[in-house]
Amino acid sequence: MVNPDQAARRALPSVDRLLSTEAVSALIGQFGRMLTVDVIRDLLQAQRDKLAQDNNHFAFDEAAFVAACRDEVGKRNQPSLRPVFNLTGTVLHTNLGRALMPQSVADAVMTAMTRPVNLEFDLGGGARGERDTHVEKWITRLAGGDGAVVVNNNAAAVYLVLNTLGAKREVLVSRGELIEIGGAFRIPDIMKRAGVKLIEVGATNRTHLKDFAEAITPRTAAIMKVHTSNYAIQGFTSAVPEPDLAQLAHDHGMPYIVDLGSGMLVNLEDYGLPHEPTPKEALANGADLVTFSGDKLLGGPQAGLMVGKKDLIARIRRNPMKRALRVDKITLAALDALLRLYTHPEKLREEVTTLRLLTRTRDDIRVQAERVLPHLQAALGERAQAAVIDCGSQIGSGSLPVDSLPSAGIAITPAGKRRGSFADKLSLAFRALPVPVIGHIRDGAFILDLRCLDARHEAEFLHQLPQLRFS
């Protein structure tokens, strides 16, 4: 009786011996020693387990082993962050990276990443400059106000505004606006962390000017309005008109601040989309500071933009937390390039990728769906039935939650009686494609909304369909 350890020693090569072979040296040359050794160890262990189970029929095949190692090293060396097809029907999908940026923005980012840039360097005077100036002039030109600051995201912007203007004091917010955004952003929690005491005003559905007036005390630092971006309060409702709230704040010598969430620099109605409040409107309504996101409707990089009164902006810049929340040159390069596109609104629809996707018509998407359908049906074979359908896309990221954009797509249902986990299995199979395809399931059907299938990537999408495997 040979004990399993001895058997393994005899049947399997050592890691060192494998490392000295030409094939493995080539792997090390390509992928490096660390990953190669990890894989050899793991696959040898798998061989040892196999041997322990059945040593009579075990034979080690070195060529096959090295080939398996090459596959596995290649797999482990794949980037973790990979492109996917977002056919969920949600355009600004937070989990899929929100806004897609135009090529001109990507080019600007590439330059900033690979070459020295005048990030905080005044090319005129040669002295130290301020990084936000690269975008401040465009934000104020497009939104109004006389100063702007940029930080990492809008959550950071809200935090910084509250911490700067309201620390150890009170800020009034309507009960109807105490929002939670996905990913644990809640206004009451941010307020607490910013050192601000939240004073809830009015009722969930109705808040009146006198509610605010009665809540003001010597400890009140500001009145804040939060755009209820991801839900709508309907029915017997009432909110105080913004100019009245602004007036009340100003009568008491305090700022009126607005968190817009999405915020868009142009009127979306001009592009056939539902209206979304703009920073310009908020400032015109009397806001002293407005905060909004860079990667929602604006269509740029993750960022939080603050625009408004110069003295308040200056106070925000002096807050030491600004240093902790500041953006890098990559974000600034992207914003700079993006904001310049907004100076030419006639071309915006073609230039800003998210706007192009949001404004695609159902007819246009339907034509694409008809084109894709036969390829998809061929890949599915007899087991499933694909059909072009009308559907509704969501803007996403909490923008305009009640409105859906008329869209088209493909619904896949089982050909026979099979129900149950059919759609789940199909959804898994599409996610396993080389460029994973993400759809959604409704009423037992797997649905692909084609709004975000960019024409430039359609060939890639079709090309990989024959690799679809599901049982």
Ligand X SMILES: *Cc1c(COP(=O)(O)O)cnc(C)c1O
Q: Going along 152-226, which residue ranges are E strands?
A: 170-174, 180-181, 185-186, 197-201, 220-226
CB closer to ligand X, 9 vs 186: 186
Is position 154 an interface residue for ligand X (rule: CB under 6 A)? yes
Residue whose Cβ sits closest to ligand X: 261
Give the interface segment with ligand X, choosing from 9-17, 233-241, 259-267, 404-412 (CB under 6 A): 259-267
Q: Which is nearer to ligand X, 163 or 413 (CB)?
A: 163
* Residue 227 within binding range of ligand X, rule CB under 6 A: yes
Binding segment for ligand X (CB under 6 A), chosen from 11-19, 148-156, 264-272, 457-465, is: 148-156
Q: CA-CA distance, 364 to 351, in Å (whole number)? A: 18
φ, ψ at 272 (rounded to 5°): 80, 15
Q: Please, which residue, 108 or 226, has the CB nearer to ligand X?
A: 226
Among residues 226, 268, 327, 341, which is the contact residue for ligand X, using CB under 6 A? 226
Rounded least distance, CB 190 to ligand X, Å:
8
- How many residues sit close enough to ligand X to count as binding (CB under 6 A)? 17
Yes or no: say if 332 and 134 are a contact pair by the CB < 8 Å rule.
Answer: yes
* Host H or E run for residue 258: strand 256-261
Q: What share of the chain is helix, strand, coil (3-state, %, to 5)?
A: 50, 20, 35
> Contact letters (x/-) for ligand X, 296-335, by CB under 6 A?
--------x-------------------------------
- In angstroms, what is the minimal distance from the CB of 183 to ligand X? 7
Question: Could you tell me the smallest distance in angstroms from the CB atom of residue 292 to ligand X?
Answer: 8
Q: Hunting for tokens 């649905």 — which residue is that?
A: 447
Between CA 453 and CA 471 the distance in angstroms is 26
Chain Cα centroid distance, residue 285 = 30
Quote the least distance from Cβ 396 to ligand X, whole Å.
Answer: 10
Q: Is position 276 an interface residue for ligand X (rule: CB under 6 A)?
A: no
291 in helix, strand or coil?
strand
- CA–CA dist 287, 281 (Å, integer): 9
Question: What residues pair up with 86 in beta bridges, in sequence order?
Answer: 438
- Give, in order, the Cα–Cα distances in Å from 204 to each of 200, 243, 248: 10, 21, 21
Q: Is the CB of residue 45 less than 8 Å from the CB of residue 93?
A: no
State which residue, 153 or 285, has the beta carbon closest to ligand X.
153
CA atoms of 220 and 222, how far apart (whole Å): 6
DSSP single-letter state for residue 383: G
- In angstroms, the CA 68 to CA 74 distance is 10
User: Among 36, 164, 174, 293, which residue interacts with ligand X (rule: CB under 6 A)?
Assistant: 293
Instruction: Evaluate whether 37 touches 19 at the Cβ level (below 8 Å).
Output: yes
Kindly state the DSSP code that residue 442 receives in the 8-state scheme: E
Footprint of ligand X on 392-421 (CB under 6 A)? 397-398
Q: Is 229 in the site for ligand X (CB under 6 A)?
A: yes
Give 12 or 158: the residue with its C-beta nearer to ligand X: 158
Residue 215 sits in the site that holds ligand X (CB under 6 A): no
The verdict on 158 binding ligand X (CB under 6 A) reads yes
Residue 259 interacting with ligand X (CB under 6 A): yes
DSSP one-letter code for 212: H
- Least Å distance, CB 317 to ligand X, is 20
Give whichever of 173 and 179 is closer to ligand X, judged by the CB atom: 179
Out of 92, 155, 172, 408, the residue judged to bind ligand X by CB under 6 A: 155
Question: Which one, 147 or 398, has the nearer CB to ligand X?
Answer: 398
> For ligand X, what does the binding mask look like between residues 437 and 456, x meaning CB under 6 A?
--------------------
Using the rule CB under 6 A, is 178 a contact of ligand X? no
> Cβ closer to ligand X: 150 or 450?
150
Q: Which residue from 58, 60, 185, 470 is in contact with ligand X, where contact means CB under 6 A?
A: 185
Q: Does the protein bind ligand X through residue 271 (CB under 6 A)?
A: no
Distance between CA 358 and CA 247 in Å, rounded? 36
SS3 per-residue string spanning 12-49: CCCHHHHHCCHHHHHHHHHHCHHHHHHHHHHHHHHHHH
Among the candidate windows 216-224, 255-263, 309-317, 340-348, which touches ligand X by CB under 6 A?
255-263
- Asked if 239 is part of the footprint of ligand X (rule: CB under 6 A), the reply reads no
Q: By C-beta, is 188 or 420 nearer to ligand X?
A: 188
Q: Is residue 289 at the binding interface for ligand X, with CB under 6 A as the rule?
A: no
Triad 293, 350, 292: Cα angle to 5°: 10
Sole residue written with tokens 């060529």:
63
Strand-pair category, 256-261 with 289-293: parallel
Q: Which one of 59-67, 154-162, 317-325, 434-442 is the stretch in contact with ligand X (CB under 6 A)? A: 154-162
- Residue 394 sits at the vertex; the CA angle it makes with 393 and 396, to the nearest 5 degrees, is 145
Binding stretches for ligand X (CB under 6 A) = 153-155, 158, 179, 181, 185, 226-227, 229, 259, 261-262, 293, 304, 397-398
